[in-house]
Chains A and B, each alone.
Chain A
Amino acid sequence: MEKLILRRVDRNNEEMILNFGPQHPSTHGVINFLVETDGEVLKKAVPDVGYLHRSIEKIGEVVGYPGFMPYTDRIDYVAAMFANEGYAIAVERLLKIEVPKRAQWLRAISCELCRMASHLISVGTMTMDIGAFTPMLHGVREREAINDLIEALCGARLTYNYHRIGGVAFDLPEGWRDRTLRFLDHFDRFLPEFDRLISFNEIYKKRLANVAVIPAAMAIDYGLVGPNLRGSGVDWDLRRDLPYGAYPSFKFSIPVGKGFFGTSGDSFDRYYVRCLEMAESSKIVRQALESMPDGEIMAKVPRNLKPEAGEALSRVESARGEMAYYVVSDGTNKAHRVRARTGSFTAMGIIEDVSRGLMIADLVALIASLDVVAPEIDR
């Protein structure tokens, strides 16, 4: 790879600047890249974001505290549960509300199902970007089943609006537990099948191993979070290291990229960490369904939410890594400032640096392996 670059850099007659996007299917939404290339080799790719900017943070200052919950769905519509949960936790911290046990368990169940759904889309679209179409359909098929479950739980398939400040909106419907367990039995068999189908495919492995390597120190410096950070070999997961909600009660392991078929921190590691995480999520959902406590699903929350002046930060481990909400209250019934720190935003920031010297086709692998979602970057 490096030899190839050295040979080509000397030849200056093929340099050009291209627009890669904003409607390219493999850019995962409306993102533009200004690509400086020398033939097939990138000099650099500069991300140009903002096409989906809706100023959700400003909306958060205008609508009241409970009214912002549906907007959080739109921050990351592939994994909306986490956005719900993060915002709910931040406001609960401001209001000093204790969430009932059952609601915490329901949150964990819904979030882990959502993580599975989001990762299925992530690994599915990744295989599609690389050129294998079938695994994407398998992923979407399984995600449909999860969507059905979540629809039965909260009535929505994409923008859930399920979590509430102080708890969750609905309790488990009848028969949902058995249905979910049946699905998990199926899903645990599906994962090895998926691995056999694509993950361990020789062409696929060679296509991704050692491509776009992000060393651990660089990943931390650039603020990568979640599976991207763990793919670089940093053993950090908020669910275990700064636990919140019901997570201290569950046993699960944190998959970390160790260079499965190449270097730690390459595209394959970031991809495969997600595959492994899905199995862990499945374990968590099982444990949560088994140890589900009885009781209320909503805390006593005043109708008019007026937190005292102050500020609170909440961190949740979203499918795209740490999602932090920073909510500042000035004592009125509307937030003074709502800030959502998202994983995709910082993941985009690293692309310019990592893309130097990549092949154009590998840029697609890099974007897909970072699992960026456009609305989450732009908010």
Chain B
Amino acid sequence: MTTHDVHERLKARFGDDVGPLSEPKIDPFCVVKKDRLVEVCRFLKTEPGLELDFLEDETAVDWPKRNVIEIVYHLLSYKHRHSIVLKVEVARDAASAPTVEGVWKTANWFEREIYDLFGVEFPGHPDLRRIMLPDDWIGHPLRKDYQEAGGWHGMSNVRENPLVELKRLDDARKAEKAPKPVEKAAEPKPAASGPQAS
């Protein structure tokens, strides 16, 4: 079965809640209505002939211009060797998507990662905690507008370029070695503004 056929069957079952297959530039995908997502996923996993039993990847993509975060589901069937890509769009300011942890257990950690790095909530998720970053981290780094808070618990996350520091030390050493500036340098210079001005 091709991705196209899988999509046809999905379309026949769910109608307009499943969007059209995107123009196959490289990998096509289809956008699913948020409310029907879990139903669609369960159908894809259990329906004989489809059996997409492997949630290959679940991740998110931030699109600040369209003000959406896309949650992307890559599904693969071990038995039939076909695959399909589903997408769910959530608003950036109230990012929340249904959890598919009940369909594929592996979604547990994938969704924790999305929650951590994109700040998308998954109501119903059994264990929604940050996974990569500390629990009191501010912000979600993979969002496009993420600004670093400039450290964590007094630990700076920026440092001076080590070369700058070396150069400063070099300069200090040179200044020590160099002969002390004689008084002549301190004398006021004779007025020579004429040629400089021209």
Binding site for B on A (CB under 8 A): 49-50, 53, 55, 57-58, 93-94, 96, 218, 220-223, 234, 236, 241-242, 308-313, 315, 322, 324, 326, 328, 336-337, 339, 341, 345-346, 348-349, 353, 378
Contacts of B37-83 to chain A: CB distance below 8 A? 53-57, 59, 61-62, 72, 74, 78, 81
Residues of B within 8 A of A57 (CB): 117, 142
A-B pairs, 9 with minimum CB distance: A223-B106, A310-B25, A349-B109, A50-B132, A341-B57, A53-B132, A312-B26, A310-B26, A221-B105
On whether the beta carbons of B106 and A346 are closer than 8 Å, the reply is yes
Residue-wise, chain B 78-93 has the 8 Å CB interface mask toward A (1 for contact) of 1001000100000000
On whether the beta carbons of A220 and B78 are closer than 8 Å, the reply is yes
On whether the beta carbons of B56 and A322 are closer than 8 Å, the reply is yes
* Shortest Cβ gap from A31 to chain B (Å): 12
How many contacts between A and B, using CB within 8 angstroms? 87
Q: Does B152 contact A (CB under 8 A)?
A: no
Residues of A within 8 A of B81 (CB): 241-242
Q: Is the interface of B mostly helix, strand, loop or mixed?
A: loop
Q: Is the interface of A mostly helix, strand, loop or mixed?
A: mixed
Binding site for A on B (CB under 8 A): 25-27, 29, 53-57, 59, 61-62, 72, 74, 78, 81, 85, 104-106, 108-109, 113, 117, 130-134, 141-142
On whether the beta carbons of A50 and B133 are closer than 8 Å, the reply is yes
On whether the beta carbons of B106 and A328 are closer than 8 Å, the reply is no
Residues of B within 8 A of A220 (CB): 53-54, 78
With A221-B104, A345-B109 already in contact, the answer to whether A309 and B25 are too (CB < 8 A) is yes
Residues of B within 8 A of A336 (CB): 61
Complex formed: what's the CA distance from A58 to B53 in Å? 30
Complex formed: what's the CA distance from A218 to B142 in Å? 31
On whether the beta carbons of B106 and A349 are closer than 8 Å, the reply is yes
With A50-B131, A341-B56, A341-B57 already in contact, the answer to whether A311 and B109 are too (CB < 8 A) is no
Complex formed: what's the CA distance from A312 to B27 in Å? 5
Can you identify 10 A-B contacts, CB atoms within 8 angstroms? A50-B133, A55-B132, A57-B142, A220-B53, A221-B53, A223-B105, A326-B59, A326-B72, A341-B56, A341-B57
On whether the beta carbons of A58 and B142 are closer than 8 Å, the reply is yes
Instruction: Select B57's contact among A93, A96, A234, A324, beta carbons within 8 Å.
Output: A324
* Shortest Cβ gap from B88 to chain A (Å): 15
Residues of B within 8 A of A349 (CB): 105-106, 108-109
> Which of B29, B81, B132, B141 counts the most A-chain CB atoms under 10 A from its CB?
B132
Residues of A within 8 A of B59 (CB): 326, 337, 339, 341
Complex formed: what's the CA distance from A130 to B196 in Å? 81
Complex formed: what's the CA distance from A58 to B142 in Å? 6
Complex formed: what's the CA distance from A328 to B62 in Å? 11
Q: A221-B104, A349-B106, A378-B132 are in contact. List 18 more A-B contacts (CB 8 A).
A: A50-B134, A57-B117, A93-B26, A223-B55, A223-B56, A223-B104, A311-B29, A312-B26, A322-B56, A326-B59, A336-B61, A337-B59, A339-B59, A341-B56, A341-B57, A341-B59, A348-B109, A353-B105
Residue of B with least CB distance to A221: B105
Residues of A within 8 A of B56 (CB): 223, 315, 322, 324, 341
* Shortest Cβ gap from B50 to chain A (Å): 15
Residue of B with least CB distance to A310: B25
On whether the beta carbons of B106 and A222 are closer than 8 Å, the reply is yes
On whether the beta carbons of B55 and A58 are closer than 8 Å, the reply is no
